[in-house]
Structure 1
Amino acid sequence: MIEALAPVFAGPLDFARHWLELAEAPEPLPRRPIALSTLLEEEVQRPLMARHEARYPGGDRRAALSMWTQYYCAQYLLSHLGAWLLLGRMLPFRPDDIAVLVLEDGTPDGFRLPHLGAVAEGPVDLEPLIREHLAPLFQSLQRHHRIAPRVLWTNAAVRVSAALNLARQQPDVPPLRLLEAEALLAKPCWRDGSPNPLHGTQSRVEVEGEMVLRRRVCCLRYMLPGIAGCGATCPIKEGQSAKPLPLLKSA
């Protein structure tokens, strides 16, 4: 674990200490780094996604891809937004600067960074975290795999919400940083007037007397053998089941 980032991976994220490593770290097997700029290429991306899909014999291809992005978004957004919210540190995030750590089965398992970025002295524009990293990745996935963009952006929005919820539990997070991160979900347009695809992807609903943040588009995970549904946060009945589909043996 990178000691300077230890507060980000304390408490509920203690299990995720391996998500970030520096470039000089020894390459641990069985995961290997792939530059994000390279991962955007179809000839690299397709075999990777095929290996990940093989984890779910008989599962839906779109659901497997959606699940891949859920892992990815959790690792990227909880670490990068967490570093900003808790430490005021902007970690490297651009495709040419960051490598994705990938397991043998194609599943993402964190990121390799060239350095630790810098601690910001004042307000920071967080839009580039989304527009210069997730946007090109999602565009590539849509182009090569024909998955609905709304599914991908909702997966990302859920992880932004998770990062915010974790930060709100910490007493020393500056309110201004919370406001800047909350704006990623709250504002309908980016600074240049283009639509913000994170906006409006979730809504608050009452379920059995409690308010729940529910997705407006299903992530499809219930279509994967061995994976339970999302419960009350899913917008469709099938995805609310906690009972997973039975596992199938691969041919």
Structure 2
Amino acid sequence: MTYRTASITEHVIRRSHLVDERDSMANAMRETIANTRAHLLDVIRFNEPVPWQAQTLAEWSRPAALQSLIATYSDHIYRHQMALPRENKPLLSLWAQWYLGLMVPPLLLALLTQKSAISLAPEHFHVEFHETGRAACFWIDIQRDHQLTAQNDAQRITALVSQAMLPVVQALEATGDINGKLIWSNSGYLINWCLGEMIPLLGEAHITTLRQSCFFEKQLSDGSDNPLWRTVVLRDGALVRRTCCQRYRLPDVQQCGDCTLK
């Protein structure tokens, strides 16, 4: 009986320690984001109650669920041009830009500025979708990834690409309406912009090194093919997107300011 009581007590203590650790990590990430890019806290939540309508990747990527989201988004995009033929390729490109554009920046900031790294496994992520069908807010269940914590920044970016981003790209590519290369091209532009924003925090030399590994190495740090390779290229002394994101093909959607077609 005494042994059983002691075991229960030890379990409660360990569980309490894990909860404290998770809350401490969440608070540290919130503080860093608040001090650098406070607006990102509007689209990401750490260790907060998940609303009932939020979904994991396994839930929203089911063919019927994804088809419903894309149909809703298509109705929104084409709402003023209902007679136009609908193009799924640029539609999915823009949908992915919303999804990854909200998810990646705060995660990249946290991974490159925090000593402890969180688990990027998709089951720890829930996304709440806007009434128009696109991503609106992410809810992350903080779990410390001990292996990733011990790794360097290039390895952490590799984990972001392979664990958090790749499953999203694969789910969208499985629709048959878009090639994953287009989504990676958009994502390379996004990551390059994020890295530029972090120069004051990490220093220009370190960011230059990370950009080299991200965009000019054919393999990621784990030896796998790098989907970000040459998604941005050097032109007139600056790194710019290599290919057009195709959003200009959608009605009432403005062309990017630095579109490759200009």
Offset at 1:198?
0.5
Establish whether residue 27 from structure 1 lines up as the match of residue 51 from structure 2.
Answer: yes
Identify the residue that residue 19 of structure 2 maps to in structure 1.
none
Aligned partner of 2:169 among 122, 138, 142: 138
Q: Distance in 2 between matches of 1:146 and 1:75?
A: 22
Offset at 1:203?
1.1
Q: 2:50·2:139 contact (CA, 8 Å) conserved in 1? A: no
Establish whether residue 201 from structure 1 lines up as the match of residue 231 from structure 2.
Answer: yes
Q: What does 1:108-187 align with in structure 2 at a 5 Å threshold?
A: 108-115=135-142, 117=144, 120=149, 123=152, 125-126=155-156, 127-170=158-201, 179-180=209-210, 183-187=213-217
TM-score by length of 2: 0.75
Aligned partner of 2:87 among 60, 79, 102: 60
Q: 1:66·1:221 contact (CA, 8 Å) conserved in 2? A: yes
TM-score by length of 1: 0.78
Q: Distance in 2 between matches of 1:123 and 1:179?
A: 12
Unaligned runs of 5+ in 1: 238-251
Structure with bigger gyration radius: 2
Identify the residue that residue 98 of structure 2 maps to in structure 1.
71
Q: Distance in 2 between matches of 1:43 and 1:23?
A: 29
Identify the residue that residue 257 of structure 2 maps to in structure 1.
231
- 68 and 157 in structure 1: CA distance in 2 versus 1, 3 angstrom threshold: same
Identify the residue that residue 65 of structure 2 maps to in structure 1.
44
Q: 2:88·2:177 contact (CA, 8 Å) conserved in 1? A: no
Aligned partner of 2:112 among 72, 85, 104: 85
Aligned partner of 1:103 among 130, 134, 149: 130
Identify the residue that residue 216 of structure 1 maps to in structure 2.
242
* Number of equivalenced pairs: 226
Q: Distance in 2 between matches of 1:235 and 1:122?
A: 36
- 177 and 231 in structure 1: CA distance in 2 versus 1, 3 angstrom threshold: closer
Offset at 1:103?
1.4
Q: 2:44·2:103 contact (CA, 8 Å) conserved in 1? A: no
Poorly superposed stretches of 4+, deviation over 6 Å:
none
Name the structure with the higher helix share.
2
- 213 and 167 in structure 1: CA distance in 2 versus 1, 3 angstrom threshold: same
Identity of aligned residues (%): 20
SS in 1 for 2:128: strand
Name the structure with the higher strand share.
1
Calculate the aligned-residue CA RMSD, in Å.
Answer: 2.7
1:54 is aligned with what amino acid? D
